[in-house]
Amino acid sequence: LELKAKMSGEEFITFEQAATILRTELNYPADRAEHFVKTFDRNKDGKLSAKEFQDFRQKVEETKSSLVPKFKEYDKDGNGYITLEEASEILQSPPFNFPSGKVIMLLRKFDNDSNGKLDIEEFAGFYADAKATHEEIAARFDQLDKDGNGV
């Protein structure tokens, strides 16, 4: 998507155009896409300048390469959200093996709009927290497992 030229010669892209990128490339839910785009509008002028768009584009690419494969793996019905059922399936299976109470706590913590499901932005925090918790538990277990027998 090319940047539009303003009469002053400054290049910019509208929120709507940037939101289209999110919906197309990341299967981002429409109701969340524009909200996410607005976080890159540093000068709050209602559009993304060339620099703001560059930062936005970099974040999109980083997200696609690391998070999108996981999100798509867990978004079983492909609707652009991770439901409570899908989140439970993730975290109650290896390597996490979290109890259901922990799953519900994590979902509530990262479900910023309280709609009972996670979009990709919310999933990013949810998954990072789950991974960090798992790694912390695994490291602690390794410390306690003096003879290395896994028990």
Q: Which residues pair with 83 in a beta bridge?
A: 117
How many whole angstroms separate alpha carbon 77 and alpha carbon 9?
44
Tokens 């060339």 identify what position? 50
Predicted confidence at residue 2, as pLDDT, reads: 46
147: buried, middle or exposed (CB in 10 Å: 19+, 13-18, 0-12)?
Answer: exposed
The per-residue pLDDT for 102 is 79
pLDDT band with cut points at 50, 70 and 90 for residue 140: confident
The more confidently predicted of residues 1 and 58 is 58
* Highest mean pLDDT, choosing among 1-5, 43-47, 70-74, 96-100: 43-47
Which has more pLDDT, 5 or 66? Answer: 66
